[in-house]
Each structure stands twice: as C-alpha cells, then as structure tokens.
A and B are shown apart, each in its own frame.
Chain A
Amino acid sequence: MKKILLIFYGGTGLSDKKGNFKFVKEEKNIEEWLELVPELLMTAEIKTHVILGDHLNKKNITDLIKVIEKNISKFDGIVIIHEVDTIPLLSNQLFWQIQNPSKPIVITGSNVIQTEDSIIPDLSFKANLINAFQIVNTNLKKISVIYGNRVIAPFRVKRSKLHDLNIFKSVGKKYLAKIDFGLSLEKIDEQKGKMKFFYNFNDDFIFFNNIPDFTVLEKLLVKNSPVNIFIFRAFPDQIIKKDKLIEIFDLACKNKKMLIFYSEVGFGKDFLKHNIITISKITSDCLSAKLSWILGQTRDQNKIRKILQDNVQGEFLAF
C-alpha cells in the first residue's frame, strides 16, 4: 500500500449525510473528517499534517515547503488540500519553490459556495480526493492540480467557472492526465535535474491589470516609493502608444524602477523590446510566482530581466 502525506491547508469542506459541514482546521478535526471519506484509507496509508490558517501568506507557504522537504523522502506522494480560489496561486508558487519534485505533489480542494441563505456543498470533492490519491499511485513526479476530470500543470491552470464539474481550465488545452475511464496519463516528458527547494521568495512588486494614467504613474514611480517593480497587463492598443511608453520608461529608468509589460497571448508589435521588458505566453499567476521566486534569489535588475525572459521550467506556453 502506498504511503501518502495528506496536508490540510484550507479548502477542506465536506458535508455528511445530514448536510452538516466538516472542516479540518486543527489536528483534532482530522479523524472525524476522514470518516466521511473511508475510501482514502482503502487506497493508501495516510499520515496527515495541518497548516494552521488557510490564508495564502509567506509564513504558511514557507511552512508548507518545510513540511514537504522534511517528508517527501518518507512518502510515495503528497496531497495538499487548499482553497480552490487560491489553488492557481499556491500551485504556481510551489512550482517555482519546489523544482523537479522526486515524488508526486497533488493539489485539490473543496469548492464550497456560500450564498446569502445557504451553503452549496462540493459534490466533486470526494472524487477529487480519490483521484488525487490515484495520481500518487501512478507516480507522476510533478506538481499538479486536480479538479473534476482534469489534471493540470500549475503553469497552465486557470479558474474558469464558479461551480461545475470542472472549475479549472488548462491554457492551451494540454493536460497532465484526464479522468475518463479512471485516470489516463498523457505523454509527459520526464523531468531532468535534481529536486531543489527554494525558501526565499518576495512579493515586492505590483501587478496592474491595466496601464494607469501617466499622472498616476508619475506618483508611483517616484524615487522613494518602496516598490521597485511594476507589471502592467498591456493591451495591444496601449503597447503601440510608443511616445507614452517611452515617457514612462524614461521616468522609471531615472528612478531605478523596473517596468514589465505583460500580455498572456503575446504582442503583435514588440518594437520596444530593447527598452521595456515585455513578457507574454505565460499565465498571470505563473508570472507573479516566477517573479516572486526570482526576487527571492536576486535583486540585480539585469539578472531579473534575463531570468524572467528565460524559459526556466517550460512555463512559456505555445498558443
């Protein structure tokens, strides 16, 4: 029987036959919670760990990495239960902080929806847990997200629906595996290199979903502002306003600020590539996690620029 470490980090809502919800917030809740999914104990020998507090913050992520590093050699795989809202962010952060994992690390969670007068249970959660355990059995040595009938690599995962059989989609429609008739693995390149754990990461940057007005930018780019890196999600009509961009870029250079213009699908006209960093063909969650990881390793702006544009772990997608 396989040995699996089950980590509870939010997203544990399971309903019993009477419709009462059980959550794991501390160790003492685990036994009662596991009684609702007896199938898990038929599949594997389980050890558990609880990350106290379900918020996605630096302390919790660091604790999670520590637990994984300490235990990965003792188990056949690790299953992490987390809030579905932040699964894309968590999975991407782990994708950068734990590179080339030697065992499967699978992330799933319960999608409990709270409306004004009721709580809608997640009727897929039990299946997701059983299937997450099956992934460990297949020895898929990757960090993966499972929900519904899709097993997705973190750098492709995107929330697409609030409540459905599948709430995540894979950008580029490529999957690590699918649950069709049981678990079917897709052809996956074997990873090369040794497993590496990185504890440092830094979120000292701001990710704008647009390019703000120049007057706002002037205030943001002042020399003594605490933030040094700004990412702007740029739309094609914004990126071609060359004069405006050069003006912004000059101001940023003067005040030693780094500007990144981002578009998921790519820029039609990349004529400012020698001045402004443009990043494309990567999901926003993956870009955030990657920049956060880079900032944990270096503060040198030239190195940051180079690593950002390098395809370090196959994170750049072909559209």
Chain B
Amino acid sequence: MWIRFSILMLVTLLNTLLGFFVLKKTKANIAKIYFSLICFASAMWSGGWAIASLIREEYIFLIITRIFYIAATAIFLFFFLFSVQFLYKYKVNKILKYIITISSIYMFYIIISGKLFLGTCKFGGFMYQAENSLLLLAYGVYFMLILFISYYVLFTKYFKSQGVNRKILLWLISGTLMAFIFGIFFAWYMPYINKQHLNWIGPIASIFMNFSIFYLFFKKEEE
C-alpha cells in the first residue's frame, strides 16, 4: 500500500515541480502557462490516485475519483490549448472549437454528477472505481478527438519549423506522446476491458513528459 502511495506521490511531486519551474521561467507566455496547468492537473491526477490508494470508504473514494477524473479531463483540454498557442497561435476551425467546448461540458457533467461511475470494486485489498462502459467509451472518443486535433497542430508546426524550434517540438511530441499512450493504456483501456487493478499505473506515465521537458531545460550545450 505504502509503496504504491510513495511512487504516486513522487510522480505528484515531479509534476508539481515541473509546473512551478515552467511557470517561473514564463513571462507573458500563454502557451507555457497552459503547459504548467497540464503539469498541475497531472499532479492532481497522480496525487488523487495516491490518496485513493489509502481510502477504504466507498463514499470518500468516489469523491476522490471524481477529482482525479476532472484533473485527467483538464490535462486533455490544457494540452489542446497549449498545442494551439505554442510558438505561434494556430488558427483552429470554429466548428471544432464548439465541438470541443460542448463535449467538455458534457464530460464534466457525467463526471461530477457521478453518472460515469457505477460503484467500486476491490482487487488485492485496493479499491477501484467501476465505470459505465458506454460512458467510458464516450469519454475515450472525447479525449481521442482532442488528442488527434492537438497532435495534428503540433505535427503541422513541427513539419513547418526549422532549427531550434524543430528540436524542441520533436522532444515535446515524443515525451507527451509516450506519456499519453501509456497513460491511456493503463488508465482508460485497462478499465474498459474490466482490468481495473492496473488503473493506478496511468499517472506514472507522466514521467515521460517530465523527462523530455526537464531535458530541454537542463541539457548541457557546447559553448
């Protein structure tokens, strides 16, 4: 129990540190503010899982579940906003903006109202949430759409960019893509196929993103 808690708290700490670090280096840069918000939301997601690993009360567990689901949804939204603003503002189709806004409101509604959750289940002494599989599928379609648009924007910027910006985009795309692939696999696909006991590994995948961004900040260069 404490091992899982410690690992998740370490990930929370790393995400919080990166969030503050990016914020500290930021001056009137909206893209980096969105990125630090991604870090704080990731910290909330992993921190939520860390606390949830200690909870034995179903009522409290479901409240915490709502919190880290909100955080996970915020990660996708902030990532979309970040991808649009990073380096220069990319013009996004108005219809897409409306689709994202309306679907986000609906997702927040099913999370906060608890419609997404059927109850809890137990594996190896740990409590997990049991989701409504249809709504979980809708949730999956929702974030896949957001990620698809975000990566379309980032890849477009990557292929049009040169020099130092191209290198930054490559690290950013690689780090976040790895984090999203592993995160989604454990935190969405596994619960979807009723293997909830691996759910908690999802937030740990954010260390791929942490590593790539910390590398960009601290890499040594030849003078």
Q: Interface on A for B, CB 8 Å cutoff?
A: 39-40, 42-43, 123-128, 130-131, 133-134, 137-139, 148-149, 160, 165-166, 169, 173, 179-185
Contacts and interface: CB of A to CB of B under 8 A. Distances in A.
Contact of B89 (A43, A173, A179): A43
A184 B165 CA distance: 13
A318 B213 CA distance: 31
Contacts of A42: 88-91
Contacts of B26: 184
B207 interface: no
Interface string B203-219: 00000000001001101
Contacts, number: 83
A126 B223 contact: no
Interface in B10-67: 22, 25-29, 31-32, 35
B217 A131 contact: no
Contact of B172 (A139, A181, A184): A181
Interface string B79-96: 000000011111100000
B161 interface: yes
Contacts of A137: 28-29
* Interface SS of chain A: mixed
Contact of A126 (B25, B27, B162): B162
Given A123-B162, A139-B27, 20 more contacts: A39-B160, A42-B89, A42-B90, A126-B162, A127-B162, A127-B163, A127-B164, A128-B163, A130-B88, A137-B29, A138-B27, A160-B223, A179-B168, A181-B22, A181-B32, A181-B168, A181-B172, A182-B168, A183-B29, A184-B217
Contact of B163 (A39, A123, A173): A123
A39 B88 CA distance: 7
Interface string B150-190: 00000000001111111010001000000000000000000
18 contacts: A39-B87, A42-B91, A43-B89, A124-B163, A125-B163, A126-B165, A127-B161, A128-B163, A130-B165, A137-B28, A139-B27, A179-B165, A181-B22, A181-B25, A181-B32, A181-B213, A182-B32, A182-B86
A182 B27 CA distance: 11
Interface of B: 22, 25-29, 31-32, 35, 86-91, 160-166, 168, 172, 213, 216-217, 219, 221, 223
A131 B87 CA distance: 8
Given A169-B223, A180-B217, A184-B217, A134 B29 contact: yes
Give the one of A183, A184, A185 with max B CB within 10 A.
A184
A125 B89 CA distance: 19
A123 to B, nearest CB: 5
A165 B87 contact: no
B157 to A, nearest CB: 8
Contacts of A134: 29, 87
A148 B86 contact: no
Contacts of B88: 39-40, 42-43, 130, 133
A34 B72 CA distance: 40
Nearest to A42: B88
A165 B32 contact: no
Contact of B28 (A43, A130, A133, A139): A139
A190 to B, nearest CB: 13
A292 to B, nearest CB: 28
Contacts of B213: 181
Given A173-B223, A179-B168, A182-B31, A126 B90 contact: no
A149 B164 contact: yes
Contacts of B90: 42
Contacts of B217: 180-181, 184
A175 B91 CA distance: 32
A168 B121 CA distance: 61
A52 B29 CA distance: 34
A66 to B, nearest CB: 29
B223 A127 contact: no
Given A130-B88, A182-B86, A124 B164 contact: yes
A228 B23 CA distance: 54
A42 B172 CA distance: 21
B31 to A, nearest CB: 6
